Structure 1
Amino acid sequence: MAVDRGPVVVAAETDDQTADLVIAELNQRNVSVIRFNPGDIGQRLAISARFGAHPGTPAGPVRTPSRTADLAEIRSVYWRRPTWPAFEHLDEPDARFAAAQVRHGLGGVLYALHDCLHVNHPLRNFEAEYKPLQLAVAQRMGLNVPPTLIANDLDAVRAFIAAHGEVVHKVLRWTPYRQGAVGLTTWTEPVTEGELDESITVVPHLFQARVNKVADLRVVVVGGKVFAIRIDSDLLDWRTDYDVLSYSVVDLPSRLEKTLIAYLEHFRLASGSFDLCVDREGEFHWLELNPNGQWGWLEDQTGLKLAAAFAELLMRGGS
């Protein structure tokens, strides 16, 4: 099927296999794609954006070694976890200055594209990543939110654990963390009063009453299409061991599907990956939204046509 509309931009790292899946689907549909990573600015990525000639949107070329596209003709942008340059060859003040110019220059131009669909717009992703805001919106929409405390008050945390018994600790935002050459991460883990001390007062922490769950759910919503996958294991945090997981495609209650779609609309997101769980009584519990969550491995495990759904959404374009 030939398409005479403008190209799709895929902003992603070179080795992003999920981006590869979507690009392959776009190629099958004869859609022109220009792929780059903002970290490639310089020799492998050049931009020249003019303002004033095209009302409301920048115009001019964006170039990679293999592709050139006119900014004013881009129909959609797939913002697939790209990275920004760190300018490690510069001293710290110059690196900080250069990084800011790229984020506000290149980033600002891409953010300013008008009549262009962003999946998702980075500024919308940024807003939706705040877990306190997620929790409040989920509660307002009638989703079943486990009792949650965000605090750096030691007495308040002790009282919360005493009131709820089994409590877990979660990070408020995943952040790259290294000790020397070793990369570290933080999982959802149980916490008891005896483990607490004054160090908790340094920053806020998220504590949540543990749900007596029987399974987890990863729900990927793409342009109003809902793909729900049940993840069975005996793990508190299923991300700790993918080898022991089993997957099955399930249907959600219509009301829950509509609420999740409305949740994305609230944040003006075109797609998102929700984490839910289900308890022994069959009740669904809200955990969190990943605005730019992983889904590529789920297509391999379930056969769901997720990449095709993303490709069709990006082909549609619009704002």
Structure 2
Amino acid sequence: MLVLTGAEDGTVDPVIGHLQEQAIPIVRLDPGDFPVSASVSTELGDGAWAGTVQDAFRGVDLESVRSVYYRRPGQFTLSEGMSGPEQRWAYREARIGFGGVLLALDCLWINRPERMSAAEYKPVQLATAGRCGLSVPRTLITNVPEHAYNWAKGLSGPVVYKPLGGAFHVEEGRTRIVYANQVADLEDLLDPSLSLTAHCFQEWVAKDHEVRVVIVGGELFAVAIRAGSAAGHVDWRSDYASHRYEIVEVPADVRAGLGRYMKAMGLIYGAADFVVSPNGSWTLLEVNPNGEWAWLADAVELPVAASIATLLKGRQ
């Protein structure tokens, strides 16, 4: 079994622990070490690649791989001294060569990278979820200030801004976090700078609490997240310390919709975030194809790691 992730990813450790207890052979590699401290040496024959991928400490015979856990691999590490054009060329060759050999492995993936890449697009998520029978918020994506303002003025309640590509970004060497937040003054939407890129706005959904549903194959692990602060109530990622957690049941219609969604997106694993309104209705915010689960599993003692390990073991 092959685990592809960075050295700092502790989420995979309990999964690896379960597999080691069952004497399943495991190799953990970070593709980000290629080509500085990792190598690939393979040949094509009979419709499959034969050979090895290895880093400074371990290697794997590609013909022996029966399943892959694709978590959070790093970016390829290129040698110093290259010019900008040389780096871009080398990175592309590494992605298509090294990455392509791995993608050619005909085995179980949790999840296949190309499926994850498609599933990370929030506009795709929301449209697919709607077709699968899941409730989603009214949403606008635009870079036209007047459109954003007029759309928001037509709603009966507050408007929320959400980043499309994730909360983290690096600015002048510092990592910054952009959480979802309510638009306090709709006049701000007329700011000309809004035209510089795409922005996502959603109608605020009346919220009692939120639920993260961790999907592992056919198993669903649902945990209510009850925030104890105003900031956490808008975006629970902004104030973990205030949360209370409890295991909850997923309504049958939501369970069925998630099943259709996962099949449509070609995913085996996903972390789905829902708003649960005071009337008990569930509204989907997003499905992260590589969302975190370890802190919830620890908080309420969920066997997520064992479930992932069982799936991976099934193809050995």
Does 2:292 correspond to 1:294?
yes
Q: Which moved more, 1:81-90 or 1:263-272?
A: 81-90
Does 2:307 correspond to 1:309?
yes
- Alpha-carbon offset, residue 12 of structure 1: 0.6
Give the counterpart of 2:260 among 249, 259, 262: 262
2: distance between equivalents of 1:177 and 1:291?
Answer: 19
- Alpha-carbon offset, residue 135 of structure 1: 0.9
Q: Which moved more, 1:148-157 or 1:174-183?
A: 174-183
- Alpha-carbon offset, residue 179 of structure 1: 2.7
Give the counterpart of 1:61 among 34, 52, 56: 52
Does 2:207 correspond to 1:216?
no
Does 2:12 correspond to 1:19?
yes
2: distance between equivalents of 1:302 and 1:175?
Answer: 25
State the partner residue of 1:4.
Answer: none
Given that 1:272 and 1:289 are in contact with CA atoms closer than 8 Å, whether structure 2 keeps it comes out as yes
Q: Which runs of 4+ in 1 moved over 6 A?
A: none
Residues 36-76 of structure 1 show CA distances to partners (whole Å, capped at 9, x for unaligned) of 111112464222121123x3x21112223443322122111
Q: Give 1:213-292 correspondences, 5 Å limit.
A: 213-233=207-227, 234=229, 235-292=233-290
State the partner residue of 2:88.
Answer: 96
Does 2:116 correspond to 1:125?
yes
1: distance between equivalents of 2:234 and 2:103?
Answer: 38
Give the residue type in structure 2 aligned to 1:308: A
Does 2:170 correspond to 1:178?
yes
Q: Which moved more, 1:285-294 or 1:250-259?
A: 250-259
Given that 1:272 and 1:292 are in contact with CA atoms closer than 8 Å, whether structure 2 keeps it comes out as yes
1: distance between equivalents of 2:59 and 2:79?
Answer: 28
2: distance between equivalents of 1:292 and 1:9?
Answer: 17
Q: Give 1:24-39 correspondences, 5 Å limit.
A: 24-39=17-32
State the partner residue of 2:187.
Answer: 194
Given that 2:168 and 2:178 are in contact with CA atoms closer than 8 Å, whether structure 1 keeps it comes out as no
- Alpha-carbon offset, residue 91 of structure 1: 2.7
Gaps of 5+ in 2: none
Given that 1:84 and 1:103 are in contact with CA atoms closer than 8 Å, whether structure 2 keeps it comes out as no
Q: Secondary structure at the match of 1:30?
A: coil
Q: Secondary structure at the match of 1:17?
A: coil
2: distance between equivalents of 1:223 and 1:294?
Answer: 16
Q: Secondary structure at the match of 1:266?
A: helix
Give the residue type in structure 2 aligned to 1:104: I
Give the counterpart of 2:138 among 144, 147, 163: 147
Q: Which moved more, 1:302-311 or 1:78-87?
A: 78-87
Given that 2:33 and 2:77 are in contact with CA atoms closer than 8 Å, whether structure 1 keeps it comes out as no
Q: Alpha carbons of 1:284 and 1:122: their partners in 2 closer, same or farther (altered >3 Å)?
A: same
2: distance between equivalents of 1:175 and 1:104?
Answer: 28
Q: Which moved more, 1:193-202 or 1:269-278?
A: 193-202
- Alpha-carbon offset, residue 291 of structure 1: 0.4
Percentage of pairs with the same residue? 37
Q: Which moved more, 1:59-68 or 1:207-216?
A: 59-68
2: distance between equivalents of 1:242 and 1:103?
Answer: 36
Q: Alpha carbons of 1:224 and 1:130: their partners in 2 closer, same or farther (altered >3 Å)?
A: same
Give the residue type in structure 1 aligned to 2:65: I
Given that 2:134 and 2:283 are in contact with CA atoms closer than 8 Å, whether structure 1 keeps it comes out as yes
- Alpha-carbon offset, residue 317 of structure 1: 2.5
1: distance between equivalents of 2:135 and 2:315?
Answer: 34
2: distance between equivalents of 1:176 and 1:88?
Answer: 26
Given that 2:209 and 2:277 are in contact with CA atoms closer than 8 Å, whether structure 1 keeps it comes out as yes
Give the residue type in structure 1 aligned to 2:267: L
Report how many residues are paired: 308
Q: Secondary structure at the match of 1:59?
A: strand
- Alpha-carbon offset, residue 88 of structure 1: 6.5
TM-score (norm 1): 0.92
Question: Cα RMSD over matched residues?
Answer: 1.5
